[in-house]
Structure 1
Amino acid sequence: MRDTMLSQASAEVTALRALAWVVTDQERGMRFLALTGCDAATLRRRAGETDVLGAVLDFLLDDETALRAFADEVDLPAQSVALARFALPGALRR
């Protein structure tokens, strides 16, 4: 299991890449904002905070189509998003 663990720093990089990907599509970005209750200004201000980064990864993990599209576009295995989420505070341990 240790081989599949990510550092928090690596997880944050993945989450920041995911955030950039989410907001490049207006509809997807608006859906993310609506689901989080965040507005664009708050998102910009808090983008690097671990709870926001976790929310971005949760957003992708809840939508398999978006998850696979993100993973394909940034050339990451889809499972790396889940691994990144588990490396950040607040992840549900299943």
Structure 2
Amino acid sequence: METGPEPQESAELQQESAQIVALQVLAWLASDDELLPAFLNATGAGLGDLRARAGDVDFQGAILDFLMMDDQWVVAFCDQHGLPYTAPQAARAALPGGEPVHWT
């Protein structure tokens, strides 16, 4: 009887999936002549940082945070990639620092 992946494996798979979504967002941003400069300005990153830091989970979190600043960006990205509109938020939650903030 198979019981499925261990919890540790499941979390690792979730993070891998989240990283894939973040890299898709980065490619989507890089293809947009208006959004890419806005992303670079918002993050303080340079063009060289895109390739150098693409595999950094903290940078990937910043990519997803930027996308989620505007619902229209989320919709456009998700529509282009055939993803549910909740995918960027789920991806962000699976990366370090993406835990929900509890203010109480």
Q: Same fold (TM over 0.5)?
A: yes
1:49 aligns with 2:49: no
> How many residue pairs align between the two structures?
90
1:74 aligns with 2:81: yes
Percent of counterpart pairs with the same letter?
Answer: 43
Report what 2:42 is aligned to. Answer: 35
Bigger share in helix: 1
| Partner Cα separation in structure 1 for residue 37 and residue 47 of structure 2 | 9
Structure 1 unaligned blocks of 5 or more: none
| Partner Cα separation in structure 1 for residue 78 and residue 89 of structure 2 | 11
Structure 2 unaligned blocks of 5 or more: 1-10
User: Higher relative CO (CA 8 A, sep ≥ 6), structure 1 or 2?
Assistant: 1
SS in 2 for 1:26: coil
| Partner Cα separation in structure 1 for residue 49 and residue 30 of structure 2 | 14
Give the TM-score of the pair, scaled to structure 1: 0.90
Give the TM-score of the pair, scaled to structure 2: 0.81
Q: What RMSD, in angstroms, separates the aligned Cα atoms of the two structures? A: 1.4
